[in-house]
Amino acid sequence: MTQVYNFSSGPAMLPAEVLRRAQSELCDWQGLGTSVMEISHRGKEFIQVAEEAEKDFRFLLQIPSNYKVLFCHGGGRGQFAGVPLNLLGDKTSADYVDGGYWASSAVKEAHKYCTPNVIDAKVTVDGLRALKPMSEWQVSEDSAYLHYCPNETIDGIATHETPDFGDKVVVADFSSSILSHSLDISRFGVIYAGAQKNIGPAGLTLVIVREDLLGKAHKACPSILDYTVLNENDSMFNTPPTFAWYLSGLVFKWLKEQGGVEVMDKINREKASLLYGVIDKSDFYRNDVAPANRSRMNVPFQLADSALDKLFLEESFAAGLHALKGHRVVGGMRASIYNAMPLEGVKVLTNFMIDFERRHG
């Protein structure tokens, strides 16, 4: 059978070792004669899984002790509501940096709860899509927080800067880049990420929140989105997505075995530079993002002749290279190359691209 490499943007591929381990213990977990899906989240066995996952996640990102980690439901979009509901306090506005599709989706949701001050960060540099540097983001004085999305999954655009906005509470949607590099957590008030790209299966959302920001939720905030309620109940106010939590824990152990996020960062840069290198060297493929703002996780590219798109997708799929179709709002192709995608997968992709160009260019 052809080796399959899955370039899906999310739910995305998981490390093969993790899937094999989950498979081996699926029907008889820890000798209990049942799967981990079928036991109480309040029993000592699952509590151990939950605690270990949090410990490993904290270790991987070096999360300081004044930050809480919450294991939530509701995905990234849930947090588009959760953030204003938890952080506005008595303020009525918040700064929202618009760098792409997901940041602007967060703005739409925020409108239900406050007046977002939208900072349009999208610029064109030498005909290429780029983002304004953080130093040019006009933060307003009376805003409750500043929200941005460091890696835009659909647009393939990213800011690689570390925020430094003094006392302003910085909130970041790391759904598509969490754990892909190290982070100075202390620069953030809240970080959130849906699990289905770089953490584990869909259904789980991680929130990292600085503890002084707890206790401010709007009275109409649903309890399952309320950071304080979740924290007081060890993320078990209601039944958590236990299987996703367990599997994410296995991914964290795998990441530790690989050498942690610094090692992943190195490999991720290597994968991205290999792929962008092949795109840049040819007139057959094109990526229109300025090099400084290129995503290392999601690489959109177009074929010069879009009439070949269908054939490219058919042939790549037959070669074991799956899910390369670009998002419907952008078109073309997109290769998502999260932590679980090995360098070898990107090599197979670039070799395929070079060969496809030779045959059809």
Q: Given the rule CB under 6 A, which residues bind ligand PMP?
A: 10, 75-77, 102, 149, 153, 173, 175-176, 194
Q: What residue spans of 89-146 are helical by DSSP H?
A: 101-110
Which two structure tokens, joined as six digits, stand for 77? 């979009």
Q: How far is the CB of 31 from ligand PMP (least distance, A)?
A: 34
Q: Would the annotation count 42 as a binding residue?
A: yes
> Strand, coil or helix: what is 68?
strand
Say whether 65 counts as a known binding-site residue.
no
Strands 151-152 and 157-158: antiparallel
The one catalytic residue in 68, 132, 197, 271 is: 197
Structure tokens at 335: 């290769």
From the list 95, 98, 155, 173, the catalytic residue is 173
**Looking at beta carbons only, is 73 or 210 nearer to ligand PMP?**
73
Residue 102 annotated as lining a ligand binding site: yes
Q: Is residue 283 annotated as part of the catalytic site, yes or no?
A: no
2 is in an annotated binding site: no
CB of 242 to ligand PMP, least distance (A): 18
**Which residue sits closest to ligand PMP, CB atoms considered?**
75
Helical spans, DSSP H, in 25-69: 44-61
Please identify, using beta-carbon distances, which residue of 176 and 302 lies nearer to ligand PMP. Answer: 176
Confirm or deny that 173 is annotated as ligand binding. yes
The CA-based angle 64-81-47, given to 5 degrees, is: 50
One of 68, 95, 102, 254 is an active-site residue; which one?
A: 102
In terms of Cα–Cα distance, which of 15, 354, 17, 44 is closest to 179? 15
> ∠77-300-307 over CA atoms, to 5°?
120
**102 given a catalytic annotation:** yes
- Separation CA 276–CA 290 (nearest Å): 11
Q: Between 29 and 203, whose beta carbon lies closer to ligand PMP?
A: 203
Q: Compute how many other C-beta atoms are within 10 angstroms of the C-beta atom of residue 359.
A: 9
User: Is 173 in the active site?
Assistant: yes
Token pair in block for residue 107:
């703005």
Least separation in angstroms between residue 76's CB and ligand PMP is 3
Q: Which is nearer to ligand PMP, 319 or 325 (CB)?
A: 325
Nearer to ligand PMP, 194 or 201 (CB): 194
Terminal Cα-to-Cα distance of the chain (whole angstroms): 29
Distance CA 222, CA 228 (A): 11
Which residues are CB-contacts of 87 (< 8 A; sequence separation ≥ 6)?
Answer: 94, 144, 145, 169, 171, 189, 190, 213, 216
Flag whether 76 is marked binding: yes
In the complex, minimum distance from the CB of residue 207 to ligand PMP, in angstroms, rounded to a whole number = 12
Distance CA 254, CA 235 (A): 23
9 labelled binding-site residue: yes
CB of 3 to ligand PMP, least distance (A): 26
Name the binding residues for L-glutamate.
9, 42
Q: Which residues contribute to the annotated binding site?
A: 9, 42, 76-77, 102, 153, 173, 196, 238-239
For the annotated catalytic residues, the residue numbers are 102, 173, 197
Binding site for pyridoxal 5'-phosphate, by residue number, is 76-77, 102, 153, 173, 196, 238-239
